[in-house]
Amino acid sequence: MLIKDAFLVVLLFSVNLSFAEDFRIGSWNVRCVEKSDSLAGDAWSKRVPEISKIIHFIDFDVVGIQEADSLQTADLSRFLNEFSFYSPDSESGNPIFFKKDVFDVLDSGFFWISETEGIRSRGWDARDYRTCVWLKLARKDSKKTFYFFNTHWDHKGAEARYQSALQLLKKIPEMVGDEPWFYVGDLNSQRHQKPLKTIEKSGFAFFAKDFAKYVYAPEGSFNHYKPEKIGKHTIDHVIYNGSMSILRYGVLNATYWDGEEMRVPSDHHPLFVLVDLK
């Protein structure tokens, strides 16, 4: 597997500067299975080993995956033996993988991104059914706890994305109180757009990138399956409550050689965040 030099540098730093209370979280839209991808040389069967290699190399402790159906999730699980995963609804496509030797699960669940969040439903002007999957995790060593929310906002409905932001700001404090939390995923929204501006101005939720001591983000998170082009659009995000120290944040532009040409494992790059719970 070939990895761009800068990507390798940031990962080596993250490995060398890991401490007992530090842990690595991530978010990655791994792309659903599409016949057109297979015809273009980006079949899931080729990509899943590369995705798992990167997850292992980065040494994620918790990672939110988007767009993975139940078969894709099972495939990933076979490669990620040291991880357990939580995927309560086969339609959501938002499994959370976490190291089973590092964390205990204290609570779990999911809700629909819609006006009727407890009932299977599309929200507002969304094209698809969307969910948010969550876990409350405790570190086995320190017993410190946090919530981890993993979601995928609608790619068509502008009102749905705005309402998704409002749902985040209303629902999370009701659920978690003052406890630490992360909200990760493909939000299909850029920082200058209304949904994320609303979050930014809330004073309650913060973007990990803004508070990281070191940032490596040479390009956007959406790459169009084109490793030779610099992606301009960052639509994947890690949001948190501000109580933790964000040590490092990265948009990791990994590539691999398939025997004929360079490729990327997904049409999104993974996000990497090194966190100190304090």
Query: Tell me, what's the pLDDT at 75?
Result: 97
**Fold (CATH) for 5-276:** Deoxyribonuclease I; Chain A (3.60.10)
Q: Is a pLDDT exceeding 90 seen at residue 92?
A: no
Query: Tell me, what's the pLDDT at 130?
Result: 96
Mean pLDDT over 159-173 rounds to 98
Q: What is the pLDDT of residues 49-71, one digit of tens each?
A: 999 999 999 999 999 999 999 99
17 contacts: CB under 8 Å, gap ≥ 6: 247, 248, 274
Average pLDDT value over all residues in the chain: 92
Which of 65, 75, 54, 77 has its CA nearest to residue 255? Answer: 54
Q: Is a pLDDT exceeding 60 seen at residue 13?
A: no
Q: What is the pLDDT of residues 191-225, one digit of tens each?
A: 999 999 999 999 999 999 999 999 999 889 999 99
Integer Cα distance of 262 and 51 in angstroms: 15
For residues 256 and 15, which has the higher predicted lDDT (pLDDT)? 256
Q: How far lies 6's CA from each of 10, 70, 172, 234, 273, in Å?
A: 6, 34, 35, 18, 16
Q: What is the pLDDT of residues 103-124, one digit of tens each?
A: 999 999 999 999 999 999 999 9
Question: Within a 10 A sphere around the Cβ of 18, how many other Cβ atoms?
Answer: 14
Q: What is the pLDDT of residues 22-53, one digit of tens each?
A: 999 999 999 999 999 999 999 999 999 999 99
Query: Tell me, what's the pLDDT at 64?
Result: 98
Q: What is the pLDDT of residues 219-249, one digit of tens each?
A: 899 999 998 877 888 999 999 999 999 999 9
